Amino acid sequence: MSYEHVVFEQRDDIGIVRFNRPEKKNAFSPKMNEEILDAMGRIEGTPGIRGVLITGSGDSFSSGLDLDLSFLETMEKKDPASYRRVHDPIQGWYHKLYHFHIATVAAVNGHCYGGGVVPVSICDVAIASDRAQFGLSEINFAHFPAGGTTWAVSHYLLPKHFEYLCLSGDRINAQEALRMGFVTKVVPHDQLEEESWKMVKKLAAKHPNAYKTAKTMCRMTRYMQFWEAIELEMAHIHENYFLSEGEMVKIALRQFKQKKIKTGTGETYRKEA
């Protein structure tokens, strides 16, 4: 299936979603959000996909919600049905992206503003071009970062960093975003897609059940007391052992002792056993 404002392809075991409204700096219109949601559903429904790579076309990752086509019309009409039509699809694909158990990588190729920072924040890894720019400009037009944007930055940045972005409306470059912890690494622009592809393939090669559990633990234990986190981790050790059919003990640790480490899927372990 082809889309008008999104380019979707499956390459090997990776689903690639490319925002494709370069003339609008890949701003999220209602139609674009519906297409992204559909693409996320295709990824979710394809067992062979082990990772997701998200990026943008042209000089932008995304400038956030398209105010011309969505937000302003919704506010003017004061119509709940119009509001739901505009906002449900974007909240829907945010939800799917956040809850994917597979690897998710954002390749930030350029401008990234407003709601565009949400997918960057909720992906497992974010790699930025050295040309990338970030900002939350809503305060500059009598508004505030909403629709998950405030949550996204407050969960991944220190208070003085995310409050500065929310309250000033200033833009920051890729190196400043790296310093703040907004992105994982910064690479030269012409190496972005190659480096992002290497990263998503690396993550997708991990044992699927181990990756799912590790991702869950990373997100849950940060909100817990130390001993609560230990108890939860120990419970999930047994779950992971069951779901992986004991591969950690039966095969993976044996390979480790023999210095023949085969990092990756259960299929790889079985072939090398």
Same domain? 184 vs 220: no
Centre a 10 Å sphere on the Cβ of residue 145 and count the other Cβ atoms it contains.
26
For residue 268, name the pLDDT band (cuts at 50, 70, 90).
Answer: very low
pLDDT mean over 174-202: 97
- Alpha carbon distance 196, 49 (integer Å): 16
Same domain? 38 vs 130: yes
**Average model confidence (pLDDT) across the chain:** 87
Does the structure show a pLDDT above 50 at 62? Answer: yes
Query: Does residue 94 lie in a domain region?
Result: yes
Does the structure show a pLDDT above 90 at 178? Answer: yes
What is the pLDDT at residue 119?
Answer: 96
What is the pLDDT at residue 209?
Answer: 86
For residue 94, name the pLDDT band (cuts at 50, 70, 90).
Answer: very high
pLDDT mean over 161-180: 95
At residue 173, what are phi and psi to the nearest 5 degrees?
-90, 180
User: What ranges in the chain are assigned the alpha helix state H?
Assistant: 30-44, 72-77, 80-99, 117-122, 149-156, 159-168, 174-180, 192-204, 208-220, 226-243, 247, 253-257, 266-272
What is the pLDDT at residue 236?
Answer: 85
Q: Which domain holds residue 164?
A: 6-204
Query: Which token pair is 155?
Result: 């969960």
What is the pLDDT at residue 1?
Answer: 67
Does the structure show a pLDDT above 80 at 233? Answer: yes
Nearest to 196 by CA among 55, 57, 59: 55
Same domain? 191 vs 249: no
For residue 272, name the pLDDT band (cuts at 50, 70, 90).
Answer: very low
What is the pLDDT at residue 269?
Answer: 42
pLDDT mean over 179-204: 97
What is the pLDDT at residue 197?
Answer: 98
| Side-by-side strand order, sheet with 51-56 | 6-11, 14-19, 51-56, 103-108, 125-129, 185-187
Contact status, residue 123 vs residue 54, Cβ threshold 8 Å? yes
Query: pTM for this one?
Result: 0.88
**Stronger pLDDT, 58 or 238, i.e. the higher one:** 58
Same domain? 166 vs 244: no
- The CATH number of residue 191's host domain is 3.90.226.10
Note the pLDDT tens digit of each residue in 112-166: 999 999 999 999 999 999 999 999 988 888 888 888 899 989 988 999 999 999 9
Same domain? 124 vs 232: no
